[in-house]
Amino acid sequence: MLKLFALLAALCLSASADATESYGMPKLDIGKGGQCVAEPQWMRKNHMKVLFQQRDETVHQGIRDGKYSLKNCIECHASLRDNSVIGRADSFCEGCHRYEAVKIDCFECHSSKRRSALVQKEH
């Protein structure tokens, strides 16, 4: 009886671990990646606040190259496959926003591609 209980407990624990893993963060194409301007956990929580602050500095003061500029994010995190942060389920921005069910509207006005990729297309 004890062996049966141990077997059932082991099966339940492994099933709950599998269920938890399936609800984890998506695997993202992080592009070049590397050292971020802030800790990843902090950026996940605060990226919209700093992007809004950067937007206000750009619009009101003409400051375009701040630490948290959208351009800098794209330069590091655009995929090495397609130079974009959107367009696929594993794209850096789109992957997390799909997971969180949040609409991305940045790229209605701003390019989702690395500047170097845009320059190459033009020539």
| Residue 122 confidence class, pLDDT cut points 50, 70, 90 | low
89: three-class secondary structure by DSSP: coil
pLDDT tens for each residue of 15-62: 443 443 456 778 999 999 888 899 999 999 999 999 999 999 989 999
pLDDT tens for each residue of 75-114: 999 999 999 999 999 999 999 999 999 999 888 888 999 8
| Residue 119 confidence class, pLDDT cut points 50, 70, 90 | low
Contact 101, 92 (CB under 8 A): no
d(CA 14, CA 19): 9
Helical pair 70-77 and 40-61, crossing angle rounded to 10 deg: 140
Strand blocks (E) in 33-120: none
Contact 24, 68 (CB under 8 A): no
